[in-house]
């Protein structure tokens, strides 16, 4: 339905949206139960309608799917492999742990899955310029990469705080030819980068496509980015079946805006036996108020174009989030996750900085894989979930964990967390 049709319908008879059944078929947007929608300036509606229409056409066009698949095969490096990690699993109560290796994708995370799809759409729309927000820099790097590949002009908005935490990714984006704009308003992190990208878009919408990095934002982004990330779960489901002969008992993923989590969850939505667990950034601990655990510690409201859970005060002002992981340091979350949480189909729990860094260290030492700090939240979740299963005697459980990205960008943060530079330097 176009915005126009919705509007006509809405004005005729404002109708509450029924939650409806939670299946893979139900979540087309613009609403996921009570969540989602379009809470944006009117100036953007035409562009969102245009994007929605073009995306619907692309979805129905086999040439679009073929081109995206070809890119994934020849450029991204898909399908990404799965890796069973028995030495790490010893720290997870001895259950079986399998990693989906999105860290091995070109540019180092799942973000490329979404970006290549949106870059193809930008071409179809006939637009020559893309903008994007980025937190950890992974989405920015992926967008800058696609812009280089497709010959698009590219501007990336990044909170000034994040440009410092992820300086290496700023350099990568610039090497790829993108303009990186440090954002100095508000908390100077991802939320403010999105505000600034939206202001750019409102101004330049005629020539510019906004390549949104996660499953938040106004319709059609949550459904579209989900569809583009869905390949993670589709591949992993079959790979786990091939390896183990059965479905996993638990699928775990970290949740910032929620794109890698939705990407791996979605193919399992109809498998009632599979527990879906999202791990949010608990920062210093949810009780300290310094965290980014939106579904655990937030309340429903409107932020960045959608109704969803968010961290807010009594007055509806957004509360600044805190996390060691720039990619999870966001006070909002995608509307489909709010729906999955309120319906109970998925569970969400917080992981503190310290717990994530312990999991980070363990995966490095036991398996020779340096994970992104974002993904380390999912690994820490696996440690908890595995131990809980083992405590209840279910040691044969299979845990599938989305390793959404690699830790190259985080080496400096980790070295400082573990005081490696001081130790090694003094020897």
Partner 1 sequence: MTGTSHEVASRTAATLDRTAAEGRAALVGYLPVGFPDVDASIEAARAMVDAGVDVVELGVPYSDPVMDGPLIQRAVEHALAGGVRVRDTLRAVEAVAATGAPVLVMTYWNPVVRYGVEAFARDIAAAGGAGLITPDLIPDEAGEWLEASDRHGLDRVFLVAPSSTTERLSLTARAARGFVYAASTMGVTGTRASVGADAERLVADTRRGGAERVCVGLGVSTAEQAAEVGRYADGVIVGSAFVRPLVEASTAAEGRDGLAEVVRDLAEGVRTARG
Ligand X SMILES: Cc1ncc(COP(=O)(O)O)c(C=O)c1O
| 254 interacts with ligand X by CB under 6 A | yes
Other beta carbons less than 10 A from residue 41's beta carbon: 11
Q: Which stretch binds ligand X (CB under 6 A): 31-39, 130-138, 198-206, 362-370?
A: 130-138
Q: What is the C-alpha to C-alpha distance for residues 318 and 185, in angstroms, rounded to an integer?
A: 13
> Which residues sit at the interface with partner 1, rule CB under 8 A?
3-4, 6-8, 10-12, 14-15, 37-43, 45-47, 49, 185-186, 191-192, 195, 198-199, 202-206, 300-305, 307, 310, 312, 314-318
User: Which residues face 96 on adjacent strands?
Assistant: 398
Token pair of 184 as six digits: 């100095």
| Closest residue to ligand X, based on beta-carbon distance | 405
| 30 interacts with ligand X by CB under 6 A | no
Contacted by 362, from ligand X, partner 1, none: CB < 5 to 8 Å by type: none
Q: Which residues contact 327 (CB under 8 A, 6 or more apart)?
A: 135, 136, 138, 256, 372, 373, 374, 405
C-alpha neighbours within 13 Å on the C-beta side of residue 41: 10
Q: How far is the CB of 7 from ligand X (least distance, A)?
A: 29
Q: Which stretch binds ligand X (CB under 6 A): 47-55, 131-139, 297-305, 359-367?
A: 131-139
Q: Which is nearer to partner 1, 242 or 314 (CB)?
A: 314
Q: How far is the CB of 44 from partner 1 (least distance, A)?
A: 8
Q: Which is nearer to partner 1, 19 or 186 (CB)?
A: 186
Can you list the positions of beta strands (E) in 313-362?
A: 346-352
Tokens 């696609």 belong to 146
Please work out the total of residues on this chain that contact ligand X, with binding judged by CB under 6 A: 21
Q: Which is nearer to ligand X, 100 or 275 (CB)?
A: 100
**What's 210's DSSP letter?**
E
Name which of 226, 274, 250, 191 is nearest 29 in CA terms.
226
Contacted by 375, from ligand X, partner 1, none: CB < 5 to 8 Å by type: ligand X
Catalytic residues: 111, 133, 404
Q: What is the C-alpha to C-alpha distance for residues 109 and 138, in angstroms, rounded to an integer?
A: 7
Q: Which residues contact 330 (CB under 8 A, 6 or more apart)?
A: 135, 189, 190, 191, 256, 257, 292, 294, 321
Q: Which is nearer to ligand X, 107 or 342 (CB)?
A: 107
Q: Which is nearer to partner 1, 49 or 358 (CB)?
A: 49
Binding mask 326-365 for ligand X (x = CB under 6 A): -xx-------------------------------------
Contacted by 405, from partner 1, ligand X, none: CB < 5 to 8 Å by type: ligand X
- Selected from 113, 260, 308, 342, the binder of ligand X by CB under 6 A is 260
Contacted by 139, from ligand X, partner 1, none: CB < 5 to 8 Å by type: ligand X
Q: How far is the CB of 333 from partner 1 (least distance, A)?
A: 15
The crossing angle, in degrees rounded to 10, of helices 45-60 and 221-229 is: 30
**Residue 215 phi, psi (nearest 5):** -90, 30
User: Helix, strand, or coil here: 155?
Assistant: strand
Q: What is the C-alpha to C-alpha distance for residues 67 and 281, in angstroms, rounded to an integer?
A: 35
Q: Which stretch binds ligand X (CB under 6 A): 8-16, 132-140, 153-161, 381-389?
A: 132-140
Q: Which stretch binds ligand X (CB under 6 A): 21-29, 134-142, 265-273, 393-401?
A: 134-142
Q: How far is CA 67 from CA 71, 107, 152, 260, 343, in A?
A: 6, 19, 18, 22, 36
Binding mask 211-230 for ligand X (x = CB under 6 A): ---x----------------
**Residue 299 phi, psi (nearest 5):** -145, 160
Q: Is the peptide bond before 416 cis (omega within 30 degrees of 0)?
A: no
Class of residue 21 by CB neighbours under 10 A (exposed 0-12, middle 13-18, buried 19+): exposed
| 252 interacts with ligand X by CB under 6 A | no
Binding site for ligand X (CB under 6 A): 109, 135-136, 138-139, 214, 254-261, 327-328, 372, 374-375, 404-405
């Amino acid at each position: 339905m176009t915005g126009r049709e919705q509007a006509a319908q809405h004005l005729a008879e404002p109708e509450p949206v029924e939650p409806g059944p939670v299946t893979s078929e139900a979540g087309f947007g613009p609403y996921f139960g009570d969540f989602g929608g379009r809470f944006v300036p009117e100036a953007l509606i035409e562009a969102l309608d245009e994007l929605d229409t073009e995306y619907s056409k692309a979805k129905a066009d086999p040439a679009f799917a073929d081109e995206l698949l070809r890119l994934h095969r020849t450029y991204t490096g898909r399908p990404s492999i799965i890796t069973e990690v028995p030495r790490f699993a010893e720290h997870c109560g001895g259950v079986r742990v399998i990693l989906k290796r999105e860290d091995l994708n070109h540019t180092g995370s799942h973000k490329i899955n979404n970006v290549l799809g949106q870059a193809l759409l930008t071409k179809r729309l006939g637009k020559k310029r893309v903008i994007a927000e980025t937190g950890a820099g992974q989405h920015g790097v992926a967008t800058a990469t696609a812009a280089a590949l497709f010959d698009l002009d590219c501007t990336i908005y990044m909170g000034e705080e994040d440009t410092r935490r992820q300086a290496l990714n700023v350099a990568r984006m610039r090497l790829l030819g993108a303009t990186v704009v440090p954002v100095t308003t508000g908390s100077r992190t991802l939320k403010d980068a999105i505000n600034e990208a939206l202001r750019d878009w409102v101004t330049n919408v005629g020539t510019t496509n906004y390549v949104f990095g996660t499953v938040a934002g106004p319709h059609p982004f949550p459904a579209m980015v989900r569809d583009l990330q869905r390949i993670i779960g589709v591949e992993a489901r079959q790979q786990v079946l091939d390896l183990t002969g059965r479905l996993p008992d638990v699928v775990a993923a970290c949740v910032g805006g929620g794109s890698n989590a939705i990407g791996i969850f979605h193919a399992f939505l109809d498998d009632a036996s599979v527990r879906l667990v999202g791990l949010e950034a608990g920062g210093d601990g949810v009780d300290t108020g310094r965290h980014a655990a939106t579904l655990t510690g937030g309340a429903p409201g409107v932020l960045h174009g959608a109704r969803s859970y968010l961290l807010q005060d009594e007055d509806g002002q957004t509360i600044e989030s805190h996390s060691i992981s720039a990619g999870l340091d966001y006070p909002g979350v995608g509307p489909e996750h709010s729906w999955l949480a309120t319906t109970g189909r998925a569970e969400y729990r917080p992981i503190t900085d310290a717990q994530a860094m312990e999991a980070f260290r363990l995966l490095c030492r036991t398996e020779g894989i340096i994970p992104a700090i974002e993904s380390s939240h999912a690994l820490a979740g696996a440690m908890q979930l595995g131990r809980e299963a083992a405590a209840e005697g279910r040691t044969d459980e299979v845990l599938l964990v989305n390793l959404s990205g690699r830790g190259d960008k985080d080496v400096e943060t980790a070295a400082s967390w573990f005081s490696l530079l001081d130790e090694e330097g003094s020897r």
